Amino acid sequence: MGHNFPLFEYLSQPLISFLSRDRTIGNYTFSINSLFLFFAIMSISVIVSKVVSFFASDDHLMSNKDKEAKKQRLGSWVLLVRIFILSTGLFLAIAAAGIPMDRITIIIGALGVGIGFGLQTLVNNLVSGLIIAFEKPVNVGDIVDVDGQGGRMKSIGFRSSVITTWDGADLVMPNGDLLNSHLMNWTLAGNKKRASIVVGVAYNTDLEKCRQVLKDILDAEERILKSPPPIVQFEQFGTSSIDLKIYFWTKHMSENNATKSDLVISITNAFKEKNIIIPFPQQDIHILSPEENKK
C-alpha cells in the first residue's frame, strides 16, 4: 500500500490545486472551495430548520390530547426558530466563504430593485409570515374561517400557510392573503359558536306552552351551554305560521351540526306529543264555473 501514496498524491494534487486556486470576477476574488463551503453551510441550515419543523409540529408526535394542545401552540414559534436558523446559517456561510460585506450591500441593493419591480407579492407574503409569528392572530391547530372557508390550521410556513378544510382538502393560502382576508379564529373565543333553529307553529298554538316545551328540550341537552342560556324568541307572523327562532351555544363548535340535528328530532317528537302543529304553506284554489259567474 505504501507504493500507492505517491500515486494518490500525484492524482490529488491537481484537484486540490484546482479547488483552492483563487479566481477573480471583477473586483471579487473567490475559490471553488469557498463556494462549496458556502453551499454546504446553507444546505445544513436548511436541513436543520426542516428537521426542527418536522419534530416540533408534525402530527406523528401527538399521542394524546394534552400533547396535541401543546403542539398546537408551537406553530408560530417554530417559524421563528426556522428563520433564526436560516439567518444564522446565511451569515456563517458568508463569513466562511470570505465574501466582503460591501459585496453583500450591493446584493441587497440589487434585491431591493428586484423587489420594486416584481417581487412585491413574495416579500409581502414573507413579511406577513413574520407578522403571524410575532402577533399570533392564528396558531397551528386553531379552528378558523377565512372568507367563508372553514377548517383547522395545519401549518404556518415562511410564504404560505395550510388550512385543512372540513371537506378534508388542504387549502394552501399565501400569508399575505391570510392577513388581508376576513379571518375568524374560533379557538381564540374558546371554540364556542352560537347556533340557531327556525320553527313555525300554527296560529292557534298556545305560545307559552310552546316556549316551555322548547326550554325543557334545550335544558335536557347536555351539549348546550347553560351560560349564556339558550333563548326562544318569537320572530314574526308568517304567511301560514308564527315563526320563532331558537338560539343556543354548544360547548364545542364541532358539535353544532350534530346538536342541531338531534334537536330537530326532539322538537318534532315533543310537538307531536303535545299536539303542537308545525304548519306547512298551503293555498286554497276556488274554481268557478261559467254559470256561477253569471249568478
Q: By 3-state DSSP, what share of the chain in percent is helix, strand and coil, each rounded to 5?
A: 55, 20, 30
Residue 247: the pLDDT is 94
Right CATH number for 194-273 from 3.90.1150.10, 3.30.70.100, 3.60.20.10, 1.25.40.10?
3.30.70.100
Question: How many residues comprise the chain?
Answer: 295
Residue pLDDT, tens place only, 90-134: 777 777 766 666 666 666 676 666 666 666 777 777 778 778 777
CATH T-level fold of 143-185: SH3 type barrels. (2.30.30)
> Degrees (nearest 5) of the Cα angle 45, 46, 51?
95
The three three-digit cell numbers of residue 153, written as one number: 390550521
Of 88, 92, 169, 183, residue with least CA distance to 131: 183
Q: Name which CATH class applies to 16-135.
A: mainly alpha
CA-to-CA distance for 295 and 285, rounded, in angstroms?
19
Residue 119: the pLDDT is 63
Of 60-64, 109-113, 183-187, the one with minimum mean pLDDT is 60-64
Residue pLDDT, tens place only, 242-262: 999 999 999 888 888 899 999
Task: Produce one character per residue of 173-209: b if its CB has 16 or more CB atoms within 10 Å, e if not.
Answer: bbbbbbbeeeebbbbeeeeebebebebbbeeebeeee
**Range 210-219 average pLDDT:** 93
Provide the residue ranges of all domains of the chain, joining segments of one domain with +: 16-135, 143-185, 194-273
Q: Coil, strand, or helix at residue 177?
A: helix
Does residue 228 have a cis peptide bond before it, meaning omega lies within 30 degrees of 0?
yes
